[in-house]
């Protein structure tokens, strides 16, 4: 069977989603997980746009050796030189050059002629070829470009040395049959197309990113650009998990394979959601909380008799933990470690000890500890480990009769205890004001959400917040059975990220 190259752009287009900034360590963590997932190419960043992206690409190139590591660059020689500096340490580096092709972009944005675009594209591709022989060229807004011009442009860049040519539906405008015809046209009308891989990159503005990608694959495209959970600019990109599972589940239709270890999908999805702060909608295909939940009596009856009556995929094939096993107060370290490893975590001894202590504390408050509780607990541990400020204790009083009051004790970066208190319009307002009196970093809260990790009145409550400072958004998360404590943890997490980012810039 033919294989489709999975090009993951979670760390580049995915991170471009409004409010989705990741720091260097978080990008590295996601890149390691993408390697486990088995993607062929990781687009690790757009290094000329920020020093943070440059550093992330450099580190990922050094550490993540199996997939090809790709950098996106503008079509100018200096940008190619600078981008190469970030990716040159990779085992298999790729330079990805992007330039607009549609008249609407040429006329209003670039103010260049079609001939100038061909010249700029070819000279940059030829220049990049001096550094490496793995060069991708993207004709931005290809789906709104006159097809004859696309054929001409792709032929020219292949002659100049491009080894992958990408046909993006940049604004999510295409309809599947029409997009498929464009790909057919590329195969029929670009005489040297056999010397390059044809790629597609679809956005989801009309909810058609996956449909367009699959149609293009059906017509012969052999690289698909996609992101975990479909995150990305505006309405996002085509979702990796949906494309991969469609190719696998309907292999009778596609007769194609990928290199993806599908049992890593669920874990990758959770990691990306945790680190970006973008929650996965309940009814999202493949990885949504309801994707394998059956509710109607008729369906449940069928499922009991034979799961394939209502399930076209086995949840285990996506890595969704199968057992309904719950841990509790009496579960020992061994059972805890076993469960962690079944969930895909392999913690070092020190981390395991810390996580086990927190697990025991949680088991004192909550009778049944489920897989979701364990995931939340490990994520919480990983978050707090390298932070400047730590929460030591909080005391909050509130109600409909008095003035909400919060007292906070933190451990600062110098290891010293700092305390303060404040009044507020509500408990969170009082709490955040008390923290502000200690940390003193101006910011404004732009988003605050609470959700319970599992059912039940004793569930862990996860708080996700976003704060903004100097036009940059920082995400924070916290989890605890007490949502006021979760709120404090989330705020301190966001402040720590803000402080770490400032430290790097100064
Ligand atoms: O949407 C787009 O066209 C892109 C290109 C860089 C491929 O993201
Ligand atoms: Zn894009």
Cα–Cα distance, 64 to 205 (Å, whole number): 32
The 10s digit of each residue's pLDDT in 311-341 is: 899 999 999 876 556 788 888 888 888 888 8
Cβ(59) – ligand 1 distance below 6 Å: no
Give the list of residues 6+ apart from residue 89 with CB closer than 8 angstroms, or none: 58, 61, 62
Whether the per-residue pLDDT at 171 is higher than 60: the answer is: yes
Rounded-to-integer distance, Cα 30 and Cα 183, Å: 31
Q: What is the pLDDT of residue 323?
A: 56
Q: 13: Cβ below 6 Å to ligand 1?
A: yes
Q: What is the pLDDT of residues 253-275, one digit of tens each?
A: 999 999 999 999 999 999 999 88
d(CA 141, CA 236): 15
Q: How many angstroms is it from 182 CA to the middle of ligand 1?
A: 17
**Proximal ligand: closest to the CA of 226:** 2
- Report the predicted TM-score, pTM, of the whole model to 2 decimal places: 0.87
Q: Which two tokens mark 110?
A: 């670039």
Question: Ligand 1, atom 6: nearest CA belongs to which residue?
Answer: 98
- Taking CA atoms, 123 is separated from 71, 116, 157, in Å, by 18, 11, 9
Q: Read off the pLDDT band of 196 (50, 70, 90).
A: very high
From the CA of 12, give the closest atom in ligand 1.
Answer: 8
The percent of residues above 90 in pLDDT, for the chain, comes to: 73
- For residue 421, which of 395, 384, 441, 400 has the smallest C-alpha distance? 395
CA of 150 to the centre of ligand 2 (A): 18
- Tell me how far the alpha carbon of residue 97 lies from the centroid of ligand 1, in angstroms: 10
- Closest approach atom of ligand 1 to CA 225: 7
pLDDT per residue over 98-141, tens digit each? 999 999 999 999 999 999 999 999 999 999 999 999 999 999 99
**Which among 281-295, 330-344, 395-409, 443-457 has the top mean pLDDT?**
395-409
Structure tokens at 405: 């009051």
Q: Give the max Cα distance, the chain.
A: 79
Q: Please give the mean pLDDT across all residues of the chain.
A: 93
Task: Please say if the pLDDT value at position 67 is more than 90.
Answer: yes
Give the per-residue pLDDT at 73: 98
Strands 2-3 and 256-257: parallel
Mean pLDDT value of segment 179-185 = 98
Q: Whose CA is nearest to atom 8 of ligand 1?
A: 13
CA distance 260 to 161: 28
- CA–CA distance, 71 with 45 (Å, rounded to integer): 6
Residue 7 CA to ligand 1 centre (angstroms): 12
How many CB atoms within 10 Å of residue 332? 11
Cα(201) to centroid of ligand 2, in Å?
6
Distance 234 CA to ligand 1 centre (A): 12
Nearest alpha carbon, ligand 1 atom 2: 170
Q: How many helices (H) and strands (E) in the chain?
A: 17, 16
164 lines ligand 1 (CB under 6 A): no
Give 149-153's long-range contacts (Cβ < 8 A, gap of 24+).
149/101, 149/114, 150/101, 150/182, 150/185, 150/186, 151/185, 151/186, 151/189, 151/190, 152/118, 153/101, 153/117, 153/118, 153/121
Relative to the CA of 9, which ligand 1 atom is closest? Answer: 8
Confidence class for position 456, pLDDT limits 50, 70, 90: confident
Contact 161, 125 (CB under 8 A): yes
Q: From start to end of 181-315, where are the E strands?
A: 197-202, 223-226, 256-257
Cα(64) to ligand 2 centroid in Å equals: 23
Task: Report whether residue 170 contacts ligand 1, using a CB cutoff of 6 Å.
Answer: yes
Q: How confident is the model at residue 227 (pLDDT cuts 50, 70, 90)?
A: very high
Give the least confident one: 17-21, 278-282, 389-393.
17-21
Q: Which ligand is nearest to the CA of 237?
A: 2
């Amino acid at each position: 069977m033919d294989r489709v190259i999975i090009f993951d752009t979670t760390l580049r287009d995915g991170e471009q989603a409004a409010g989705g900034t990741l720091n260097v360590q978080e990008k590295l963590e996601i890149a390691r997980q993408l390697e486990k997932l088995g993607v062929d190419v990781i687009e690790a960043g757009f290094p000329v746009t920020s020093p943070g992206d440059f550093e992330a690409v450099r580190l990922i190139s050094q550490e993540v050796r199996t997939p090809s590591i790709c950098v996106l660059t503008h079509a100018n020689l200096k940008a190619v030189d600078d981008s190469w500096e970030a990716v040159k340490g990779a085992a298999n580096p790729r330079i990805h050059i992007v330039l607009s092709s549609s008249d609407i972009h040429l006329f209003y944005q670039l103010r260049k002629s079609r001939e100038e675009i061909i010249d700029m594209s070819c000279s940059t591709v030829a220049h990049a070829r001096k550094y490496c022989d793995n060069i991708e060229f993207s004709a931005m807004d290809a789906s709104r470009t006159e097809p004859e011009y696309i054929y001409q442009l792709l032929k020219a860049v292949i002659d100049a040395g491009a080894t992958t040519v990408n046909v993006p539906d940049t604004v999510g405008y295409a309809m599947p049959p029409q997009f498929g015809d464009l790909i057919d046209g590329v195969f029929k009308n670009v005489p040297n197309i056999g010397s390059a891989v044809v790629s597609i990159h679809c956005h989801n503005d009309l909810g058609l990113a996956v449909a367009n990608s699959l149609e293009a694959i059906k017509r012969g495209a052999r690289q698909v650009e996609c992101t975990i959970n479909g995150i990305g600019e505006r309405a996002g990109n085509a979702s990796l998990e949906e494309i991969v599972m469609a190719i696998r589940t309907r292999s009778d239709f596609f007769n194609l394979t990928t290199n993806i270890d599908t049992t890593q999908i669920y874990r990758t999805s959770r990691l990306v959601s945790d680190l970006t702060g973008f929650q996965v909608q309940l009814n999202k295909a493949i990885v949504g909380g309801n994707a394998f939940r059956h509710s109607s009596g008729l369906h449940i009856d069928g499922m009991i008799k034979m799961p394939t009556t209502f399930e076209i995929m086995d949840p285990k094939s996506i890595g969704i933990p199968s057992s309904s096993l719950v841990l509790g107060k009496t579960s020992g370290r061994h059972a805890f470690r076993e469960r962690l490893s079944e969930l895909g975590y392999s913690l070092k001894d020190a981390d395991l000890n810390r996580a086990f202590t927190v697990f025991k504390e949680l088991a004192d408050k909550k009778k049944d500890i489920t897989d979701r509780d364990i995931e939340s607990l490990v994520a919480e541990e990983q978050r707090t480990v390298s932070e400047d400020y730590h929460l030591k204790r909080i005391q909050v009083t509130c109600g409909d009769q008095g003035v909400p009051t919060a007292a906070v004790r933190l451990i600062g970066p110098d290891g010293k205890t700092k305390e303060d208190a404040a009044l507020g319009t509500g408990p969170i307002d009082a709490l955040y004001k008390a923290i502000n009196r200690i940390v003193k970093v101006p910011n404004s809260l732009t988003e605050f959400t609470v959700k319970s990790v599992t059912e039940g009145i004793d569930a862990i409550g996860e708080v996700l917040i976003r704060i903004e400072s100097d036009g940059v958004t920082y995400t924070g998360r916290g989890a605890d059975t007490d949502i006021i404590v979760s709120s404090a943890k989330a705020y301190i997490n966001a402040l720590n990220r803000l402080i770490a980012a400032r430290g790097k810039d100064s």
